[in-house]
Chains A and B, each alone.
Chain A
Amino acid sequence: DAKTTQPPSMDCAEGRAANLPCNHSTISGNEYVYWYRQIHSQGPQYIIHGLKNNETNEMASLIITEDRKSSTLILPHATLRDTAVYYCIVRVALRGSQGNLIFGKGTKLSVKP
């Protein structure tokens, strides 16, 4: 079973920031928070990951609460092409570790004109 909880769906206006929440209250100290998304009929796409510090890359920002029990993925200026299902996943990430990503149901983000 997925160890994260996400809202099933969200809407966002084009050009506005999309803030996608995720609860992971049972996260362990050595588990990272990963975000992937799946645009219709494509494979999942890696977005960003973090351990405890906030992270930013060219796609998004990841804000992790101090107690690490929840996080928020931020798409700063959502476009129609960001419409997708977004998955929040927690996993241990060690060199040579097993690669089992546990996908839940994710959040279906609809970006509207």
Chain B
Amino acid sequence: EAGVTQFPSHSVIEKGQTVTLRCDPISGHDNLYWYRRVMGKEIKFLLHFVKESKQDESGMPNNRFLAERTGGTYSTLKVQPAELEDSGVYFCASSQGGGLGGYTFGSGTRLTVV
């Protein structure tokens, strides 16, 4: 089966611009998660979708971040406007059910804000 796909793999934008990251989960996985690692820090949870609904968005850093999952398939994470501290690697993961058998992560999108 195809894994979790993230696009783009790299993005370099200027401070103040907008960037949209996309995640395609494994087909049939209702649960979709976003995580990120900013420079020198640990991987942190951002939010969790069950189908198209936000189950937990407690990790979203501020209102410059907007995640959507229309139709319960792929998800987008928009950063608007981007700030320097948003630089890092953004990971998406998906799972069946509550993830008892573990999550499958994508390779991530490396975002650099200059």
Q: Report which A residues bind B (CB closer than 8 A).
A: 2, 32, 34, 36, 38, 41-47, 49, 93-105
Contacts and interface: CB of A to CB of B under 8 A. Distances in A.
Given A43-B4, A43-B108, A95 B44 contact: no
30 contacts: A2-B42, A41-B107, A42-B107, A42-B108, A43-B4, A43-B93, A43-B108, A44-B43, A44-B93, A44-B103, A46-B102, A46-B104, A46-B105, A49-B100, A49-B101, A94-B98, A95-B97, A96-B97, A98-B55, A98-B56, A99-B31, A99-B33, A99-B56, A99-B93, A99-B95, A100-B45, A101-B35, A103-B35, A103-B43, A104-B42
Interface string B79-92: 00000000000010
Contacts of A98: 48, 55-56
Interface residues of B, number: 29
A46 B106 CA distance: 12
B99 interface: yes
A101 B50 contact: no
B105 A43 contact: yes
